[in-house]
Structures are given as C-alpha cells and as structure tokens.
Structure 1
C-alpha cells in the first residue's frame, strides 16, 4: 500500500484527511453548480468537470501535487486545507450539493464512459456523506484513509505537511518561495484545526489505544524538537532558494514562522496526546470505542465498496489463506523446506542468509539497487499485458526517518497528470531486515509497475474528478492483480523463491481480512494480531507489528486489498468464459485501467461493456 508522499495516491490522502475550506481569510473559493435536470453527454460532462473543480478548490495540497495549481487555481499554491470541524462541514456541504446535481442526470441517455463518471461520483459522495454522519474521524472522499483518529502515528498534518512542502511544493521562483512561507503559516492553522477535533472526540470518549499514542507521541516529540530549531522546514526552503539563485532573506523569515507559530502549535497537539495517553487502554479495536461498531461497519463498506459483514470477511480470509498455503507448500518442499507448517517454513526461509540484505547503509544501498533492477525487468513485461502503454515516470525514495516507525514497508502512486511531478515509490528503510530478496520484487510490482504508479498514470488521463476520486478495493485490488500479472508473464521463471514471495504476499492480504476483523469485531488484542501473521504466514514480526498498528488506526482499509483482487479475478474469469477465443488479456487489462478507479459494482458494468464490445 495502503498511502502520504503526495504522489497522486498521496494527493488523494489530502481529501482522505477530511480537507475542506481554505485556511487564509478573504479567499473563499468560487464553487460551480449546475441546477436543473441534465441529459446528454455535453451537459453531463460539463457537470462532471464542475465536480472536479469544486473538489480541487477544497484541496490546495492536492492541486499542487497534481500540478494543477496554476491559472484559475494559482491562489491555491499559497494555501493549505482547513482541517478543523468547519472545514469538515464545508466539504460535506459541497458533497451534498454536488450529489444532488449528479442524481438529476438522466444516465440512460449517456455514453458508457460518461455514465461511468456519474456513477463513480454518486458512489463516492454517498459513502463519504455516510462517513460524515459518524460522530468523529477523518473521512476519505473516494479515497482510502478512513480513520477514527484525527492525529495518531500515521495520521496528521505533522506527518503530511513537512513531506509535502519538501517533495511536491516546487521552489523555482520568488513567488514559489513566498507561497512556501504562506503555507508554513497555514501549517500552524491546520495543526490547531486538528487540535479542536481531537479534543471534541476525546470529550465523546474516543481515546486511541495506548500503544498508538506512544508511537505518535514519540514521533511528534521528534518533529517538535526539529521545529524548535527551525529544522528541516527551514532548511528545505533555504536549500532550494539557494540552488535556484533566488535572492531574499528566506531563512530568517521561515525560521520566525516555524519557531514562533508551528512549534507552539505542535506543542499544543503533543500536550493533548499526552493527556489522552493518561486515559488510554491497550484495547486495540473499535469495539472498545463509543459508536465503534457503527464506524467499523461504515469503514468496511467504504474500503471494500461492498456490503460484506465482518464475519463474512473474516471467513473469506481464512478460506483464501488455506488455498494460498496449498500453493506455497510444494514450492517450499522443492527448495528443501519440508518440516512444519507453511508459516513455520516461511519463518525459517526469512532467516536464510541467501535472501537477506546487508545491515545498515550498505544494505540500504543494496535495496535501492535491487528495486531498480526489478523496475526495469517488470517494465519490459508490460507490452505482453497491455495494449495501451503509459510512461509511468517515477522516483524511488526513502521514507523520512522520523516517519518510518509508524509507516508500512512501502507505498507508492502516480505523479501529476502533466508529468512534471513523477510518481513516487516510498520505501521504509528503518532496518534492512524489513525486506528480503524474495519479497522485494513483488513489492515493487505492487507499488510501482504495473501496480499503483502504472494504474495511476491511466487515471490521470480521465476527467479531473476521476483523477481525484479513488476506491480502496479497486486501487489495492489492482496492485495485487499487478503482482499476479508479473508471475503469470513469467517474471519468476528463473527465481522460484521470488514466486514464493508473491504467494506469501497474497496470503498476507488474506491474513489482513482475518486480523482486521479480528481486532475490530472479534475483540482481538494487538498481540493476537501480530501472532496470527507470524504463525500462520511466516511474516516478519518487525513488519507486522506496524501493520497491526496501522489496522487499528485505519480501520477496515486493509480489507480492500484481497476483496478487490478476488473480484478482479472473478470478472476476468467471467470475461474469458463469455468470450472464449475473442478474449485477449491485453484488452481485458485495458478495460480495467482505462475505465479508471471505480467501485466494484461499476467495475462489473465496465466488464459487461467490454464483453459486449468484443462480441461485435
């Protein structure tokens, strides 16, 4: 995954964080509305464009990350989104207004592609509005990061903004530098906006688990220590203005904002986290929080775009895990691992020095080189699987060290539609033991090519609202399907242990179905969740400890992966059976990626359209 670098996937995180409004006074956005009934592609497409414009105006960070903060949106470059309750209310109000307009469209009169865009908007907005009806939390608008906790170890402006400013806010001119300073000032406003919602949730009895608070407190303390010295927020601007030859007293001005405004705002958030820690318990799941069962039911619906219950998802995970272990067993026996369960043998394989990277910086360099080796290899396979190819430009970057303890092993996504900002593949290198030589090729397929970066490049060619909206089950289901494509195209023909890594990855996602529902609906402890991964799937305990923590904060998100993957495979089997000799893998895959990021019911209709077209 599962995620924040302000690649395209992370630009969606801005929307997922419940962003709304504009944090500078006197600059309220002009939002577009189209009253009255709508019929025909022309009118519907104009309405679709207005939806994108409206949502973009409420996401200044997203506009920058997609290189869309120019022209009529140039003012957004100076702003950050409002993370206060007022911001939440403004976003929900805009969604209601635009949903009402979408529901007035006569979809029977539309072309397939235009009808799809209208259906995507209606699905995303209806689900998001159900989320806004919950008593607390951040709501993803057609995104993936739904969380009951406004600020925690992997959620919050204290993580998002410094990385965004350094990575995606370009500084090439003096106005760019002025915009950076304006956003630094707005950063403090964002932090206080979150603080109000943190306190409101706590007053309703919502206190995060103690072990998540411990991580968040440590990370925020580190961020505060840097801010009190000016730190990276100042250094980034100084370095880039110097490199670009932009004269000015940028350092002192930035330092005054960071020390005088940002550091005190971080202090206030840190004080609140510490106060909540005094009331916290070790209970991991939402079952232990007020209104938690209702929030989790909604979060599962948002994540999977289905109506599956926690029990149905739990049983699906157990069933698919057993099937995948049946495929792993003969490979393990073939390479000499014959004793014990599949999980036991995968644990033993993880200790095999042949598949480990060196420790420290030497190993980090080895990992980076290994990733690039497989990126080149996987890219060469894509013509066999797609009729339409995309550039999928990307950078491989290490996660900021202060974020690594609370982050997953990697995440990635496409860059801007115009190609000026490349896609990102962020890798967690807090220890080289997080990665193995048999698992990293598969991770690279998932996060980059033909996974998230690749799929996002197609989405960037669709109308703006389709670029902004994403559905967790499709996004992550696609990335798992991308892993499978690499295997099916012979990617591991000379590296059978690499195929074992791919199968373990799928089994890992089946485990997620079990553990996520176990934590939130079956009252599992954090330790039970970690133990299930290690014993059943031979997973790395260092990795799965952070994984389980992530499930506690992003409730339901982990369930979208395998649900989406299984549905894509079901649709592929249906198309193959229906078309027989007319079926072509490249055409099926083009249907998926060119159809854009969709809920699973819309995915089925896109496949219906492909089958009907191929029969003509």
Structure 2
C-alpha cells in the first residue's frame, strides 16, 4: 500500500465524473488560451494553499530549502480552525474551477480538470459528515493508523534533513511543536466523539498499545532523541542535541501523548465492539462515500461483495491446481497455504540477524526485477528505492508493507517499508510479490514517474487516486508473473496467487464489515480460512479496514480495470499492440480516477 495521504490528503479519491456534455464546436485559440491560463493559475493557487503552506509537505517534497527554509522549524497546523479554513479554501477553489470551460482546455489539461473535479466533488461529500474532518474517508482523527503520534517520529527521523546546525535547531523546534499538534488532535477527536464517532474498543486498545510503546521508552532512548544524536554526530555538528531533545520529550511531548491516551481511556468503557461504520450517524451513507472515494467507481456495497466472492473462487481454483502439482492435495486451499506458511524451509528466524538477511534478499529481488524492466517500459524512474523496516514503535498496528514517495528534488529516494514485527508473517514465498507491489514495477515505479513527469503542474505530480495506484500495484504483481519471475519457483507463484486472493477477499471483508454488519471476528475468520494467513496478520488487516472504510476495496477494483483495459487494447490492436506503449501511456497520466484512465486508454486504442 501507499502512505501518501499527507500530499493533499489525496492517497485516493473517488466517485464518478460528471458526464461529458454534448458535442460542441471546437474552442478558438483565444478561448483555449484564456481557459488554460485561468486553470493553470487555479492549480497553482490550490497547490499554494493546500501543499506549499504545509511545512511537512515542503519537507516531504524536498522543498524546505532556500526561500522556504523557515518551514523546517514548524509542523503542520492540525487544529480544528485550520481544518475548517482549509475546507473553505478548497470549496472556493472548486467553485472557481466550475466556472472554467473544461472543453476549451487542451487535451492534457482536460485530464487534469477531470481528475481535480473528481477529487473535489467527492471530498466535499465527506465534508457533510460531522466527524473525521479530513479529505479522505476515516471517521476517527486518532486511531492505530492515524494521528501525529505515529507519523511525526518517523517523519523527523526519515525525512527531516540534518546537514548543519540550523537543521538540528529546526529539528528541535519541530519536536517542541509536536506537543501542540498532539493537543490540537485531541480536541478534534473529542469533537468526533461528541458527534457519535467513537472508535471500536479494539481500535482504542491497539492505539493505546502504540502510544504506550512510545511513552514507555525512556526519553533518552527514544527514536526522536537517538535520531538527532546519531545524525549530528555523523555530520560532526557540535552541541548537546540529545540532552535538549530528551528534555523536550520529557517535559512536553510525552505528557501530550499521555493526554491523548487519557482521552481514549475515558471513552473506552463505553466503546462498542461493533466494527463497521454502519453504527455511526449516517454510517451507511458514509460507507458508500468511502467506496466511491477509494474505488473511483459507482459500485454498490452489494456489487463489491459479490465481485469479491467470485474472484476469490476463481483465484482459489488456480492456487488449488498449483498446490496439487506440488503434491499437496489434502485440505482446503487456505489450509494448504497455511501449511507451507509454517514450513521451516520458508520461515526466517525471528531475530534481528535474520531480519537483516531478509532485507538483503528483498534488495536482490528488486535488482533482478529492475534488469527486466526495459523490455516492458519505455520510461524508467530516475529515483532509486530503498527498503526499510517499519519503525518498531508503530509496527504493532502498522500494515504489512507500505511505500513512501521520493523528494521532488532528488534529495531523498523512494522507500518501501516492510513490517518485521514477526518474521513468521513473511514466509519466503510471499516476499517477492510484496517487493513487486511496493517497489518496482509497482508503487515506486508509478509514483516516481509521476513526480518526474516534465511540464506537469506540482498539484498533478502529487495527486493520487487509490484505485489507480493500488490497482497498478496489483497489476504489477501480475506483470511480474507474466515476465517469468516464478518460472522455477512454484511456491513463489503460489505467493503471487495468494496476494491476488488476499485483495479479492478484502472486497468481501470490507463490504462485510461496513455493509453486512460482520463482526471483527467474523471478518478475521473469513480471511484466515480463505487465505491460510496467520491470525495476527489478518487481525491487523481487518482493524485497518475498520478505520479506512472502502480503501481495502480499491486494490482489486483498480486491478480489474487495468487488466480489462489491456485486454481490450490487445483485441483492438492485434499485432500492433505494444506493451511498452500501453504502460507508458497509462502511467504518463499520473494519478487519475479510473474513468479518466479508461477514457484515455480507449482513445489510445480506437476501434
């Protein structure tokens, strides 16, 4: 998965584009010029208001140097007042865009207009709900997956650059600002509670566990103290940085995290165990909004559920045939996959040394894949991709793997994170597919190319839609199989099929939780039985779906669309079909809704 919500809060967006209006006369050169100038000015304005005014985003993009160097000393404003001010600016921007003649724009800018309209229309649907308050569907300001308590420590460690003394001073200023962020979020989550959006008891418990992992670590040993101590030493920057960081943590940050924890504990006794958002005010409508936002489709919850059941059955039959070819004939597909999941041949010891060995093997797999890419792509990203462990402080509730985009200026590479809390969750036959999804030719390949696209407005370099990007990540897994990477690795191919089946089962579990009112335990049991995964792994996944309603469905909806478009192109073009052309055309769009992708690819393959 991608971790890109920080960029315009647009890890994904959804909904259906407004229908294209009736055919009209071609715009004159003057009309085109005027519309284009107005639209580009609007995109620049939105980028300034929503991206360049956020100091964390500037750091993430590598833009916190030169005239914007003061951004290094601040964190984003997370107050309710700022959230409401941003909403007002965004709504004003969408009204101004509605006044621009979309049909008078050049073709490339029509894609931008459609994508931004799509995002704006759907995000504003979310504004109608009295809880959550962000620009993507998550009803809880603080959870095991949301909140500065889990984001800022890693942000400071992995993205805040320390090259000189003023960078270290900026680090400490941000560390002091961290306490304000925590208190602002505490006020917002209490507004959620008053509106009826208290997280389920198990989400509160998981969140408290992660908070206690932070505050239960001596301030001197915290990653936030160790990071500045290590990096100033590496750069020979004199100063007692560790002692100063330790004091800020002790006096300000830890107490603020504890205040958040106390606010969670105050509602824990009355929290329900019901998992889905159906129990919230207008909860069924909230789930439909989440599905629309994340899948960029008009699929109903029942259609999503049925799609999942059908695809689980189809992929399971393919895995069954592979397992039988390896002499494994007894038990369900899930039971047989579970058996190879604990086979000592495939399990790394749960030690730090073995975890380092695992990371090294992932790098070998990524390098081998990169050597194959020129046969399938005309454009390759310039930015490299690193493979890292999920920080130990948040690994208990974090997903199994996720991707972090590179800096625009090339100062920081892309990174894919793997959760190594327990190596038993990652038998060797599962690992290649994760690498192809998160790194290359998956998320890193797609997102780095988007950010490196020349002559593209900043807003379009960072806007993302989950169905497009996660669909591409899953398509990349299929492409790797088609490249022949599993030619002599049948168990690796089982891992690939299990990954596909995992995403199909997500359709069932996501709609089961939020529409069919499944319990957390019912959803866990369904996925464990189907997939053969460890219950601890699946429990973390199910709890993730509970706080991001609809997001889990974006993968397979997007993948199905990418595959359908490729097969349609093959039928239309026959011997003229070029896999490089298909990939380069689809990826040149950047992050777009599926409707925009479909329209573009159908135009590339006219009947």
TM-score, normalization by structure 2 = 0.92
- Between the aligned partners of 1:420 and 1:273, the Cα distance in structure 2 is 38
| Aligned partner of 1:300 among 286, 291, 298 | 291
Q: Could you say which residue in structure 1 is the equivalent of 2:42?
A: 47
- SS of the residue 2:417 aligns to: strand
- SS of the residue 2:484 aligns to: coil
Gaps of 5+ in 1: 4-8, 19-35
- Between the aligned partners of 1:2 and 1:548, the Cα distance in structure 2 is 17
Gaps of 5+ in 2: 14-30
Q: Could you say which residue in structure 1 is the equivalent of 2:27?
A: none
- SS of the residue 2:479 aligns to: helix
How far apart are residue 409 of structure 1 and its match?
A: 1.2
Q: Could you say which residue in structure 1 is the equivalent of 2:600?
A: 606
Map 1:128-147 → 2, pairs under 5 A: 128-140=123-135, 146-147=137-138
Maintained 8 Å contact 1:226/1:232: no
Distance 1:497 1:489, change over 3 A: same
Deviations 1:384-414 (A, max 9, x none): 2111122341111111112111011111133
What is the RMSD of the two structures over their aligned residues, measured on CA atoms? 2.1
Q: Could you say which residue in structure 2 is the equivalent of 1:410?
A: 401
Deviations 1:335-381 (A, max 9, x none): 01112222222122212222222232232123112211210111112
Q: Could you say which residue in structure 1 is the equivalent of 2:380?
A: 389
| Aligned partner of 2:509 among 515, 540, 550 | 515
Map 1:347-426 → 2, pairs under 5 A: 347-426=338-417
Deviations 1:467-514 (A, max 9, x none): 221011111001000111111111111112211111110110000000
Maintained 8 Å contact 1:17/1:139: no
> Larger deviation: 223-232 or 163-172?
223-232
Maintained 8 Å contact 1:69/1:76: yes
Q: Could you say which residue in structure 2 is the equivalent of 1:165?
A: 156
Maintained 8 Å contact 2:203/2:543: yes
- SS of the residue 2:403 aligns to: strand
**1:312 equivalenced with 2:312 (yes/no):** no
How far apart are residue 11 of structure 1 and its match?
A: 4.1
Q: Could you say which residue in structure 2 is the equivalent of 1:576?
A: 570
**1:105 equivalenced with 2:96 (yes/no):** no
Maintained 8 Å contact 2:38/2:100: no
Q: Could you say which residue in structure 1 is the equivalent of 2:142?
A: 151
Deviations 1:110-145 (A, max 9, x none): 2222211122111112211111221111533xxxx6
Maintained 8 Å contact 2:5/2:11: no
Maintained 8 Å contact 1:191/1:266: yes
How far apart are residue 249 of structure 1 and its match?
A: 4.0
Distance 1:37 1:226, change over 3 A: farther
How many residues of Structure 1 are paired with residues of Structure 2 in the alignment?
587
Map 1:241-252 → 2, pairs under 5 A: 241-252=232-243
Maintained 8 Å contact 2:200/2:274: yes
> Larger deviation: 248-257 or 123-132?
248-257
| Aligned partner of 2:122 among 118, 124, 127 | 127
**1:535 equivalenced with 2:566 (yes/no):** no
Maintained 8 Å contact 1:551/1:557: yes
| Aligned partner of 1:345 among 315, 320, 336 | 336
Maintained 8 Å contact 2:506/2:553: yes
How far apart are residue 296 of structure 1 and its match?
A: 1.3
- Between the aligned partners of 1:473 and 1:541, the Cα distance in structure 2 is 27
Maintained 8 Å contact 1:39/1:105: no
| Aligned partner of 1:557 among 537, 551, 556 | 551
- Between the aligned partners of 1:413 and 1:172, the Cα distance in structure 2 is 21
| Aligned partner of 2:269 among 278, 297, 322 | 278
Map 1:254-269 → 2, pairs under 5 A: 254-269=245-260
- Between the aligned partners of 1:457 and 1:213, the Cα distance in structure 2 is 35
Maintained 8 Å contact 1:396/1:426: yes
| Aligned partner of 2:91 among 83, 96, 105 | 96
Q: Could you say which residue in structure 1 is the equivalent of 2:23?
A: none
